[in-house]
Structure 1
Amino acid sequence: MLVAENLVKVFPGVRALDGASLNIAPGSVHALLGENGAGKSTLIKILTGVHRPDGGSLTIGGEPVAFDSPHAAVRAGVGVVHQERNLVPEFSVAENIVLQHLPAKGGLLDRAAARQEARRCLDLLGLELDPDRRVRGLPVSQLQLIEVAKALSMDSRVLLLDEPTTASTPSEVERLFDVIRGLRDNGIAILFVSHKLEEVYALCDTVTVLRDGVSGLESVPLKDLQRSDLISAMVGREHSTVDLPPRPPAADEPVLELSGVSTAFGHRDVSLSLHKGEILGLYGLVGAGRSELAKALLGLSTITAGDVRVRGKTARITDVRNALKKYRIGYVPEDRKDEGLFLDQPVSRNIAVTVWDRIQQRFGGVSQRKERQLADEYVTKLGIRLASPTQLAGQLSGGNQQKVSLAKWLAADTEILIIDEPTVGIDVRTKAAFHELIWQLAADGRAVLLITSDLVEMVTLADRIVVMRGFHVCGEVVNDHVYDSVSRQVMGLIHADAPT
């Protein structure tokens, strides 16, 4: 159904693809794997008309194609769910779903037809959502499923899914997989990009692996490959888990305390403490209120009751700037693209933005020389791969973008660091490097509040795990880093009968 042969794409200073090939059969789910920076997103953008290749060929249904725009790809029958969401916040759910093929009546949008089509696609996903509801303010997990519904509405012959389960619950993932299997059985050719190998083995039948822009494995039956084979093809060697070294014990006195906190988001009676040199985990299923609690602590929602103390004193945090300047709190958000970075600005500016007041020139303005010096320091410290500090943040791979998002808070010398979903959409080797980095931040004396939906990651890193359900704390687990026992305790708290 779709054949790409020897695709080449060159950006300034970077050869993103260097002879990548792909062959997706109708009625199959084909996995595309590779580390961050391997060229997966670039390949997808070529297949969907976002980029034009500098070499190679592309055919769909046996016919040569050359897309000059995403609309041309849509007309050829290619649907896509990008890793970066492409929704209009002020539009309704229905308007977003039908945006690329608006039903018209008398020269105006046929809203009844739009609602009907949106309801059809939402029902396929089992998503109970009002088609007339505005998209702005919806949880990340629902936004991701709206993107899938948007692609389903195109009746595509080829469907490309780039990390579609990033923020979904297990039940949402299984529902999506049921939909994908149904589309496969109807002859659709599906390309599935994921860093979660368990999902790949559960869903896919063939696999292509990219490494440094080249096809390391091309359209190989998945049943012929072990997990270790895939990892070796991605990283050039079999990955082994890094043993994290012992850390000094956390300080006795807490640096951040919550006592009976309630918020406008709906939290009630939340209490916890975070100590210097500690990694405190905040775990729960999607919708438990973890990210919302972090945002309330940063002044992005009202704390309606209770007390927040920083270094023993009551804190009145009004916004993210106030949290940084007065309380030395930094925040690496879950959504790095929309909330963590200025994608259209250079890496150097993204890293230096938290310390502009320190590098101002005498008569106003920010010293670009000092911006670059600061960027050079943290590019080296964190191993950020880029062509130059003037490269735009939006041109980096997901893992390198996340490092930039973290670097700006390290540059500001924060003492308390809230890190939300640090390794979403990041490959095996980069994830291990992030784990070492977070571990070292605590070893250096920073207090880390870690929010992650990856329970393995939580058990690997956290010293204690505060478990949330329904916007309140339902228990705490002391982590001995033995996954089987800790995961049973955590899931037991989540699924225990709610108190009457």
Structure 2
Amino acid sequence: MSLFEAARVEKVFPGVRALDRATLTLEPGSVHALLGENGAGKSTLIKIVTGLYQPDGGRLLLDGQEVHFGSPHESAAAGIGVVHQERNLIPGFSVGENILLQNLPTSRGLVDRGRIRAEASRWLAELDLDLDPDQPVTELSVAQAQLVEIAKALSVQSRVLLLDEPTASITPNEAERLFRVVAKLKDAGCAVLFVSHKLEEVFAICDTVTVLRDGASVLESGRLADLTRDQVVDLMVGRVHEALALPPRTVDQTAAPLLELEQVGTATGHRGVDLTVRPGEIVGLYGLVGAGRSELAKALLGLDRITAGEVRVRGKAVRIKNVRDALRTHKIGYVTENRKEEGVFLEQSVSRNIAVTIWDRLSKAFGYVPAKSEAAMVAQYVEKLGIRVASPLQLAGTLSGGNQQKVSLAKWLAAQTEILIIDEPTVGIDVRTKDAFHTLIWDLAANGLAILLITSDLPEMITLADRVVVMRDHQVRGEVANDHDYDTMSQQVIRLIHAEKPEENAA
């Protein structure tokens, strides 16, 4: 008998059938993959299983008995834990308080801080995560927050654990730690559901797979050992997915850099950072969680104080005050890794999200922005980036993750940036949309844009970057010229990550 089953589940939103009699079966002592393109219904199904949504049809069964969950609390009480794709940490609480939130230890009616520290440390140690349980979660990077979410789910010791894109913002090293924990849970008889767009991870740790397409199950509990990667992708997209082939692109190494960092230090702790990005070049920043990559990008945008060294844009030393100054004065754009909180205004239309960076350019007297001018510009970028919308007036929050990311990118392209920092561009994006993004980034560089690419996805880095700059502990550990051969590049990058001190001329 299965441990958990969602049988012929239906969910309808206005104008959209999100789930169409979808079925999911989880066995004890197994890791089951749930796959599908963006918008296929994966997150909707998880939200029904955890009580966030109520199904319009079908049944949920736990140990063969029908169950009804009116809230996430009821689902958790029944032994179902979840790590959502969107982080759900409480900003005002510490790391330890967030991990043990569902069962805070008390003594004589008061919260027992000592036990919080001890028990939270236990779950952090499971992930080899060196964090202080008393640290506020507001101080964490996106990747650290993701790992705390995972520790939080582990602390509940659930019989069924749902992992929705758990490795989206973490590097392969952190992912390996997670996979060791998943193996322990499997051996203990838990049922683990693993949702990921990284098929190499799916084939590495999962036993069975369910594939959703357009809200329906096109494969139910298939054995992964009997399937190839191409067969799985074919089920997801409805046709054989062709491997991405990017056209040749060269970088003029004699061209003056658009962006230069010389011995830069920041208030966050960077020391002696040297970096250059030329027109038409993609420079990758790679490193483990806490390496300081995103923090360096934010310092370049005036969001953190630069305490030493020099930043030069087009050969001139600059002090960038804020994001507006970065864009207006220096033509620097930033596609953030945190698209739902920083990248798009979820409650605003697609049109407003794209046009926000150029309203001053479109505006007439008294700040009036002609609707026709805005609509024409928005239509241009909706078509150029292939953003799937019912109308430019559609709210950005109703789009799939891939389309939200395209909207986030579109606003910077509309502003005619010349230097673009792209942070984790394909987190939570399906294989076909990811290829479209890779092609888009490649084409932007081919047209002369200088791109600083931050990604925890090493295959993505090796696909796109011309050079890979490796960071650890807020320092540059070395640099590797990319020959796009995964085996040799991954070995060189990993060697630099673990180097004891920065190396010179690693390329």
Partner of 1:327: 330
Q: Secondary structure at the match of 2:337?
A: coil
What letter matches 1:331 in structure 2? Y
- For the pair 1:348 / 2:379, whether they are aligned, the reply is no
Shift of 1:371: 4.5
> Which residue of 2 is the match for residue 420 of structure 1?
423
Q: Tell me which of 390, 413, 418 is aligned to 2:393.
A: 390
Deviation, structure 1 residue 178: 2.1
Q: Distance in 2 between matches of 1:159 and 1:374?
A: 45
Separation of aligned partners in 2, 1:101 and 1:374 = 51
Deviates more, 1:20-29 or 1:490-499: 490-499
Aligned pair 1:51/2:53, yes or no?
Answer: yes
Of the structure 1 ranges 148-157 and 489-498, higher mean CA displacement relative to structure 2 is found in 489-498
1:299–1:317 contact (8 Å) kept in structure 2:
yes
Q: CA RMSD in A?
A: 2.2
Taking the TM superposition and a 5 Å limit, the aligned residue runs for 1:457-468 are: 457-468=460-471
- Structure 2 counterpart of 1:101: 103
Residues 247 and 123 of structure 1: CA distance in aligned 2, closer, same or farther (over 3 Å): closer
Deviation at 1:22, TM superposition (A): 0.6
SS of 2:137 mapped into structure 1: coil
CA contact (8 A) 2:27 2:191 kept: yes
Cα distance in 2 between the residues matched to 1:498 and 1:183: 37
On the 8 A contact 1:18/1:213 being kept in 2, the answer is yes
Q: Can you list the C-alpha shifts for 1:403-459, whole angstroms capped at 9, x where unaligned?
A: 111111011111111111111221111111011100111122211111222222222
CA 1:379–1:8: 2 relative to 1, 3 Å: farther
SS in 2 for 1:53: coil
The match for 1:39 is 41
Among 222, 228, 231, which residue is 2:224 paired with? 222
Per-residue deviation, residues 72-127 of structure 1 (Å, max 9, x unmatched): 22222221100110001221112112223344455543434433432333233333
Aligned-pair CA distance for 1:369: 5.7
Residue among 433, 437, 440 paired with 1:437: 440
Judge conservation of contact 1:6–1:55 (CA < 8 Å) in 2: yes
Distance of aligned partners of 1:446 and 1:48 in 2 relative to their CA distance in 1, 3 Å threshold: same
Question: Is the alpha carbon distance of 1:496 and 1:155 closer, same or farther for their aligned partners in structure 2, counting shifts above 3 Å?
Answer: closer
Q: Contact 2:476 / 2:502 at 8 angstroms: preserved in 1?
A: no
Which one of 488, 494, 499 corresponds to residue 497 of structure 2?
Answer: 494
Q: Distance in 2 between matches of 1:195 and 1:499?
A: 33
Deviation at 1:52, TM superposition (A): 1.6
Measure how far apart 1:364 and its partner are.
4.6
Alignment pair present for 1:281 and 2:284: yes
Write the distance in 1 (CA, Å) between the matches of 2:96 and 2:62.
29
Q: What's 1:302 paired with?
A: 305
* Kept after mapping to 2: 8 A contact 1:14/1:387: no
Which moves more between the two structures, 424-433 or 61-70? 61-70
Per the alignment, residue 237 of structure 2 pairs with 235
Within 1, Cα distance between the matches of 2:495 and 2:128?
26
- Residues in 1 aligned to 2:116 and 2:397: alpha-carbon distance in whole angstroms: 32
Q: CA deviation at 1:300?
A: 1.3
Mark the CA change 1:336 to 1:468 in structure 2 (over 3 Å): closer, same or farther: same
Query: Which contiguous aligned blocks of 4+ residues in structure 1 show a shift greater than 6 angstroms?
Result: none
Shift of the 106–484 alpha-carbon distance from structure 1 to 2, 3 Å rule, reads: closer
Q: Percent identity?
A: 66
Q: 1:343, CA displacement in angstroms?
A: 2.2
Secondary structure of residue in 2 paired with 1:136: helix
- Residues 258 and 209 (structure 1), Cα distance of their counterparts in 2 relative to 1, 3 Å cut: same
CA contact (8 A) 2:477 2:496 kept: yes
Q: 1:4 aligns with which of 6, 10, 22?
A: 6
Write out aligned runs for 1:85-164 (5 A).
Answer: 85-164=87-166
Match of 1:479 among 482, 497, 501: 482
- Per the TM alignment, residue 50 of structure 1 is displaced from its structure 2 partner at its CA by 1.3
Secondary structure of the 1:327 match is: coil
Can you list the C-alpha shifts for 1:377-425, whole angstroms capped at 9, x where unaligned? 3222111123333333222222111111111101111111111111122
Which range is displaced more, 354-363 or 36-45?
354-363
How far 1:252 sits from its partner (Å)? 1.1
Partner secondary structure for residue 402 of structure 1: helix
1:471 to 1:357, Cα distance in 2 relative to 1, 3 A? same
Q: SS at 2:52's partner residue?
A: coil
1:466 is matched by which residue type in structure 2?
Answer: V
CA displacement at 1:359 relative to structure 2: 3.8
Residues 349/135 of structure 1: CA separation in 2 closer, same or farther (3 Å cut): same
Unaligned runs of 5+ in 1: none
CA separation in 2, counterparts of 1:223 and 1:100? 37
- Hey, what's the Cα distance between the residues in 2 that align with 1:488 and 1:117? 36
Q: Return the alpha-carbon distance in structure 2 between the equivalents of residues 98 and 267 of structure 1.
A: 32
Retained in 2: the 8 A contact 1:32–1:40? yes
- Partner amino acid, structure 2, of 1:353: V
Please state whether the residue corresponding to 1:90 is helix, strand or coil: coil
Q: How many residues align?
A: 500
Q: Deviations over 1:207-256 (max 9, x none)?
A: 11111211111111221112222111112223222221233644712211
Which is further off, 280-289 or 230-239? 280-289
Give the distance between the partners of 1:124 and 1:499, measured in 2 at CA. Answer: 29
8 Å CA contact retained: 1:348, 1:374: no
TM-score (norm 2): 0.92
Measured in 2, the distance between the counterparts of 1:186 and 1:487 equals 33
Quick check: 164-173 or 292-301, which moved more?
164-173
Q: Residue 213 of structure 1 corresponds to which residue in structure 2?
A: 215
Instruction: Specify the SS of the correspondent of 2:161.
Output: strand
SS at the partner of 2:123? helix
1:16-64: CA deviations, max 9, x gaps?
2222111111221111111122111111111111112222222222222
**Does the Cα contact within 8 Å between 1:331 and 1:419 map onto a contact in 2?**
yes
Alpha-carbon distance in structure 2 between the residues aligned to 1:110 and 1:497: 40
Distance between the aligned counterparts of 1:481 and 1:40, measured in 2?
A: 32
Instruction: Report the Cα offset of residue 368 of structure 1.
Output: 5.6
Deviates more, 1:112-121 or 1:53-62: 112-121
Q: 1:482 to 1:340 in 2, by over 3 A?
A: same
Q: Is the 8 A contact 2:144 2:289 kept in 1?
A: no
Query: Is residue 251–residue 279 contact of structure 2 (8 Å, CA) maintained in 1?
Result: no
Change (3 A) 1:128 1:465: closer
Runs of at least 5 residues in structure 2 that lack an aligned partner in the other structure: none
Query: What does 1:401-412 align with in structure 2 at a 5 Å threshold?
Result: 401-412=404-415
- Is residue 19 from structure 1 mapped to residue 21 from structure 2 by the alignment? yes
1:339 paired residue number: 342
Q: In structure 2, what is the Cα distance between the partners aligned to 1:146 and 1:167?
A: 12
345-354 or 399-408: which moved more? Answer: 345-354
SS in 2 for 1:254: coil
Change (3 A) 1:108 1:359: farther
Q: Out of 327-336 and 474-483, give the one that drifted further.
A: 474-483
Which one-letter code corresponds to 1:25 in the other structure?
Answer: E
Q: Residue 119 of structure 1 aligns to which amino acid in structure 2? A: S
Of 391-400 and 484-493, more deviation after overlay is shown by 484-493
Q: 1:365 to 1:92 in 2, by over 3 A?
A: farther
Q: Report SS of the residue matched to 2:138.
A: coil
**1:260 to 2:258 alignment:** no
Asked if structure 2 preserves the Cα contact closer than 8 Å seen for 1:13 and 1:387, the reply is: no
Asked if 1:454 is matched to 2:457, the reply is: yes
